[in-house]
Amino acid sequence: MQNTSDAARRVIDIIAEQAMVDTSEVRMEMSLSDLGLDSLGLVECIFGIEEAFDVSVPFNANAPDQAGFDISSVGAIISEVEKLIARQAA
């Protein structure tokens, strides 16, 4: 996980904690289901991200595909979080 931003490391920490795996097992191309996370685990990740970064994640658990927040992979989630942080800083 070289050249990983602080935000990326924190997101990976949150996901790994919810998946109960070591951060070294989390890969950018993995989906949350690859890590054994179900919809409740996803919601817990979202809450963890919101708390860690003081952002509001535009995510609707009832329509996850229409949320405007890409949860297709760990890398996509990191990218979305980095966008939220940048918007908040602007």
Give the pLDDT mean for 13-33. Answer: 96
Compute the mean pLDDT over every residue in the chain, rounded to the nearest whole number.
89
Question: CA nearest 77: which of 62, 88, 53, 89?
Answer: 53
Above 80 in pLDDT, residue 34? yes
Q: Which residue has the higher pLDDT, 3 or 21?
A: 21
Above 60 in pLDDT, residue 50? yes
Tell me the CB-side half-sphere exposure of residue 80, using CA atoms within 13 A: 21
Quick one: CA dihedral 24, 30, 32, 36, positive or negative?
negative
| Residue where the block lists tokens 């919101």 | 50
pTM greater than 0.75: yes
